[in-house]
Amino acid sequence: MEKEINCGVPVTELHHLSGRIGMYVALISNGQMATEVNQRGYDVVSESRGRISVKTTAQNTYVGHFSFNPNTLDQVDWISALKIDADEMEIQLLLDTEKEEVLELMRESKGQYTFPMSKLTPTPESSKPIKYVNEVQHTEYTVREAETGTFEILKGSESISPIKPTMRMIAKEIGVDLTNTNGNTKNTRQLGASVIHALQDIS
């Protein structure tokens, strides 16, 4: 997928690759893929979660919905929804719960049950302090790595967003390669880790 995206193919066109995300759900649920191709209603079978319907999105926003066939929804016990972050080359688990909890939020539309993605919009945990495990300085910039693996860049006391352009600028200034060993452009986490290690070595 990373190679296809670097060649300019939109992630939304990579259905032949994103469709394999069911294998990831099988892994995290200690289950296995459904035995039949295009199994009615579900994609994964897990001992702990039963029959799992897997939904995938590559959108950067929480606009739109996931669709379910009402004729096969009775075959489903559990619903997992995942987002492919093409910028970071990461899989984010948006929803992982029993079908009954999702049914309460579904609507009927054109013969389908739909679940609005707006219900999955993350809410900031403003009361929970962020713990940083690494912090380095470069000129007027502070680069910090949180324990979650995410990065933040401050210019003075002001947080910069998005951070990738600034991270790339810092990397170039200190001689950090922007590509990984496969020749693909590093995502923000890879680049951030390289920048922090380089600045720690310099200091």
**Mean pLDDT (the chain, rounded):** 86
Domain end position, chosen among 120, 143, 162: 120
* pLDDT tens sequence across 19-70: 678 888 998 899 998 887 666 788 999 999 999 999 988 887 888 899 999 9
Judge if 104 and 78 occupy the same domain: yes
Pair 24, 108 in one domain:
yes
- Helix/strand/coil for 195: helix
Nearest to 143 by CA among 104, 189, 108: 189
- Is 111 within a domain? yes
Same domain assignment for residues 177 and 142: yes
**14 backbone dihedrals φ, ψ, rounded to 5°:** -100, 50
In a shared domain, residues 136 and 116? no
The verdict on 24 and 61 lying in the same domain is yes
Q: Are residues 116 and 141 in the same domain?
A: no
Are residue 48 and residue 140 in the same domain, yes or no? Answer: no
Picking from 89, 120, 151, the residue at the C-terminal end of a domain is 120
* 123: confidence class by pLDDT, cuts 50, 70, 90: low
Residues 67 and 102 in one domain: yes
Task: Please indicate, yes or no, whether the overall pTM of this predicted structure exceeds 0.95.
Answer: no
**42-51, 119-128, 151-160, range with the lowest pLDDT:** 119-128
Mean pLDDT within 114-124: 83
* Domain match, 146 and 192 both: yes
Same domain? For 38 and 95 the reply is: yes
DSSP readout, 146-191? Answer: ETTS-EEEEETTEEPSS-HHHHHHHHHHHT--SB-TTSPBP-HHHH
Q: Is 125 among the domain residues?
A: no
Q: Per the domain annotation, does 67 fall within a domain?
A: yes
pLDDT tens-place string over residues 78-114: 999 998 877 666 788 899 999 999 999 999 988 999 9
Q: Is residue 127 part of a domain?
A: no
User: What is the pLDDT confidence band of residue 17, given thresholds at 50, 70 and 90?
Assistant: low
Residue 186 lies in a domain: yes
Q: Look at residue 127 in the predicted model and tell me its pLDDT.
A: 46
**Residue 31: inside a domain:** yes
The count of domains in the chain is: 2
Last residue of a domain, one of 94, 120, 146: 120
Shared domain for 136 and 109, answered yes or no, is no
Q: What is the CATH number of the domain that holds 74?
A: 3.40.1350
pLDDT higher than 60, residue 125: no
Domain membership of residue 26 as a residue range: 2-120
Determine, yes or no, domain membership for 126.
Answer: no
pLDDT at 126: 45
In this predicted model, which residue has the larger pLDDT, 122 or 178? 178
183 and 88 together in one domain: no
